């Protein structure tokens, strides 16, 4: 397992505790007993003007992500993204580092994080954010979005997607 250096701030200067504090606010917009992942992800993609999206849940072993739902990912890649170790790829890196991971242009630069097959998505700008347990001690999933054009996600966009991920927490946080 790769060791992860603990940073107190994200690369954009936002304190990690601020994100965890924001993510600690219970703000639910959906009935989680009957969560419709397709509608939820479609709303997120529309809000962020993205064309692809994934929802992963942390597997019972606490070291892998299992695909729950996706939109726009080519079928050829579904096997590769259905079960991801923490630390592998963009979603796995977000889970391992416990912070948003973004790539401005996946087609030109894998950023040392993405796998070469990720280019088959035709996505350029991508962002993955961890979903934290209610007490912020565990990563219980990851939400990822991607757009076809190169894009530097702003700190505000990273915070917004982190806030949206809270809507999945109640459904996912069943291990605690």
Residue 75 corresponds to which tokens in the numbers above? 């079928």
Domain membership flag for residue 10: no
Domain membership flag for residue 3: no
**Structural domain count of the chain:** 1
Question: What CATH number is attached to the domain comprising 81?
Answer: 3.30.450.40
Question: Which domain does 98 fall in, by range?
Answer: 16-23+30-172
Domain membership flag for residue 115: yes
- The pLDDT score that the predictor gives to residue 145 is 95
φ and ψ at residue 56, rounded to 5 degrees: -115, 145
Domain membership flag for residue 135: yes
Given a cut of 80, whether residue 161 has pLDDT beyond it is: yes
**What distance in Å separates the CA atoms of residue 167 and residue 32, rounded to the nearest whole number?**
8
**Bridge partner list, 143:** 55, 129
Which position has the higher pLDDT, 115 or 140? Answer: 140
- The pLDDT score that the predictor gives to residue 113 is 58
- pTM recorded for the entire structure: 0.76
- The pLDDT score that the predictor gives to residue 37 is 87
pLDDT band at 41 (very low <50, low <70, confident <90, very high): very high
- The pLDDT score that the predictor gives to residue 76 is 85
Domain membership flag for residue 4: no
pLDDT band at 124 (very low <50, low <70, confident <90, very high): low
Domain membership flag for residue 8: no
- The pLDDT score that the predictor gives to residue 58 is 95
Given a cut of 60, whether residue 3 has pLDDT beyond it is: no
The residues near 145 (Cβ < 8 Å, ≥ 6 apart) are 44, 45, 48, 50, 52, 53, 126, 127, 128, 161
Domain membership flag for residue 6: no
pLDDT 10s digits, 46-98: 999 999 999 999 999 999 999 999 999 888 888 888 999 999 988 999 999 99
pLDDT band at 4 (very low <50, low <70, confident <90, very high): very low
Q: CB–CB of 71/52 below 8 Å?
A: yes
Domain membership flag for residue 97: yes
Among 96, 124, 100, 98, CA closest to 110: 124
pLDDT 10s digits, 6-38: 334 444 544 545 544 444 433 333 334 345 888
Give the burial string for 48-72 (b: 16+ CB within 10 Å, else e).
bebbbbbbbbbeeeeebbebbebbb
């Amino acid at each position: 397992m790769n060791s992860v250096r603990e940073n107190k701030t994200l690369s954009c200067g936002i304190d990690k505790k601020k994100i965890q504090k924001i993510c600690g606010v219970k703000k639910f917009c959906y009935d989680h007993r009957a969560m419709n992942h397709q509608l939820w992800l479609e709303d997120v993609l529309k809000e962020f003007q993205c064309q692809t999206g994934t929802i992963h849940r942390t597997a019972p072993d606490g070291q892998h992500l299992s695909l729950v739902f996706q939109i726009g990912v080519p079928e050829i890649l579904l096997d590769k993204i259905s079960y991801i170790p923490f630390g592998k790829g963009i979603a796995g890196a977000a889970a391992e580092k416990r912070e948003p991971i973004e790539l401005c242009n996946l087609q030109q630069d894998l950023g040392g994080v993405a796998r070469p097959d990720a280019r088959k998505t035709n996505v350029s700008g991508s962002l993955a954010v961890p979903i934290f347990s209610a007490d912020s001690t565990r990563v219980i999933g990851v939400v990822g979005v991607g757009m076809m054009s190169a894009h530097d996600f702003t700190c505000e966009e990273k915070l917004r997607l982190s806030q949206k991920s809270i809507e999945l927490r109640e459904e996912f946080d069943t291990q605690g």
